């Protein structure tokens, strides 16, 4: 057992140290200096979002991009609240916005993927920008993402973290940035994971070469399936970590909703490539090993935990620097370590419980999506 524990710890720290060094070696973010302004279609799926839709639309309205070259297509996904009415009021007199009612299923599309599939059919842009209603975008988002599209680049994703709020929100914010940091660390050496479904852009040509979401096998993590399909067709990808591509998602307000979110992510993780599955497994096993060592070799366990906490803290602080934000306080970073341990264990247990993941009034289970209304 001690040999297996040692191997897990060695692999775990190898990942941590590599990720830290990779982020430290990042150069400064590119300046936003594009000379041409291609037609861009922003695709936004909305379902029961009356509380957050205005926050999102106001940020979109402030995007620094020629309005004649930008169309915003919003798909109302059978909302049962006032989402559609709020959108109609906001977009009145703004011809670049269009609202569509999504009331049918197209091919293999389900949930958000189904909405995006139908919006893409309406889109005229050379590039499709995709975000979520709960994300507030920075002004230079479109320009900063576009500058990453070299001739052979088919898909680009930015970085998302939670917006500021109470302490529970801050812990989620650290968690998002921490995970996004790993994606960027490995992306720097060409190891892909996924695009970030609430902060991504895809070249229209690359999208349609896949057949669109109506032809792509459905997954709860529809962003990864698109990433996989685009890259399989030979297109390159880019991942961006910069202030001008940093989306601010609204935080999850309670533990129950968060557990359903994590379960949905873990279900979707079944479609991830083997290297990322292995990384997630190693991460979970690390805590099992730490508990085992804590029972049998408490001094060693404390030393290992402190090393992990130290590397992790430096990693997160460097990420804060990269996105030009005020660093988190040391108390927050310490509480985050407790949050991370508890969240990992509880989310793992919840994943194996015979309870289907519920999200925005729908029940998710593998390739199945069922309306609860």
Ranges of each domain in the chain: 2-24+259-356
- Residue 50 is predicted with a pLDDT of 94
pLDDT of residue 191: 85
pLDDT at site 269: 74
pLDDT tens string, the chain, 373 residues long: the values are 788 888 999 999 999 999 999 999 987 777 777 889 999 999 999 999 999 999 999 999 999 999 999 999 999 998 999 999 999 999 999 999 999 999 899 999 888 999 999 999 999 999 999 999 999 999 999 999 999 999 999 999 999 999 988 999 999 999 999 999 999 999 988 887 777 889 999 999 999 999 999 999 988 788 889 999 999 999 999 999 999 999 999 998 888 888 888 888 777 777 777 888 888 889 888 988 988 888 888 999 999 999 999 999 999 999 999 999 999 998 999 999 999 988 888 888 888 888 776 666 666 665 555 554 4
pLDDT at 164: 86
pTM of the model: 0.91
Q: Is the dihedral of CA 212, 218, 224, 230 positive or negative?
A: negative
User: 199-203 and 97-101 as β-strands: parallel, antiparallel, unpaired?
Assistant: unpaired
**CA 12 – CA 114 distance, rounded (Å):** 38
Compute how many other C-beta atoms are within 10 angstroms of the C-beta atom of residue 240: 22
Residue 108 CB neighbours (<10 A): 19
């Amino acid at each position: 057992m001690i040999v297996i524990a040692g191997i897990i710890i060695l692999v775990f720290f190898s990942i941590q140290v590599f990720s830290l060094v990779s982020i430290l070696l990042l150069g400064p973010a590119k300046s936003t200096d594009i000379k041409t302004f291609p037609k861009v279609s922003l695709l936004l799926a909305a379902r029961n979002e009356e509380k957050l839709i205005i926050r999102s639309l106001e940020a979109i309205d402030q995007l620094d991009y020629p309005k004649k070259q930008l169309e915003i297509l919003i798909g109302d996904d059978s909302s049962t609240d006032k989402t559609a009415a709020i959108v109609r009021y906001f977009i009145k007199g703004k011809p670049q916005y269009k609202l569509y009612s999504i009331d049918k299923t197209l091919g293999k599309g389900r949930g958000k993927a189904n909405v995006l599939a139908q919006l893409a059919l309406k889109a005229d842009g050379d590039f499709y920008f995709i975000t979520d209603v709960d994300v507030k975008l920075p002004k230079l988002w479109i320009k900063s993402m576009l500058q990453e599209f070299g001739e052979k680049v088919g898909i680009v994703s930015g970085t998302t973290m939670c917006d500021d709020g109470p302490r529970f929100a801050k812990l989620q914010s650290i968690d998002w940035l921490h995970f996004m940091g790993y994606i960027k660390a490995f992306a720097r050496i060409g190891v892909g994971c996924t695009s970030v479904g609430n902060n991504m852009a895809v070249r229209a040509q690359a999208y349609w070469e896949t057949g669109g979401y109506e032809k792509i096998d459905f997954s709860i993590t529809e962003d990864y399936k698109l990433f996989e399909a685009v890259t399989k067709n030979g297109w390159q990808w880019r991942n961006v970590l910069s202030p001008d591509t940093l989306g601010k998602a609204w935080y999850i307000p309670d533990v129950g909703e968060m557990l359903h979110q994590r379960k949905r992510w873990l279900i979707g993780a079944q479609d991830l490539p083997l290297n990322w599955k292995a990384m997630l497994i190693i991460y979970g096993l690390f805590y099992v090993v730490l508990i085992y060592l804590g029972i049998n070799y408490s001094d060693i366990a404390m030393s290992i935990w402190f090393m992990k906490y130290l590397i992790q803290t430096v990693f997160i602080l460097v990420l804060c620097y990269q996105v030009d934000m005020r660093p988190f306080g040391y108390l927050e970073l310490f509480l985050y370590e407790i949050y991370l341990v508890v969240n990992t264990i509880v989310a793992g247990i919840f994943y194996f419980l015979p309870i289907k993941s519920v999200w925005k009034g729908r029940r998710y289970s593998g390739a199945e999506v069922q309306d609860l209304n």
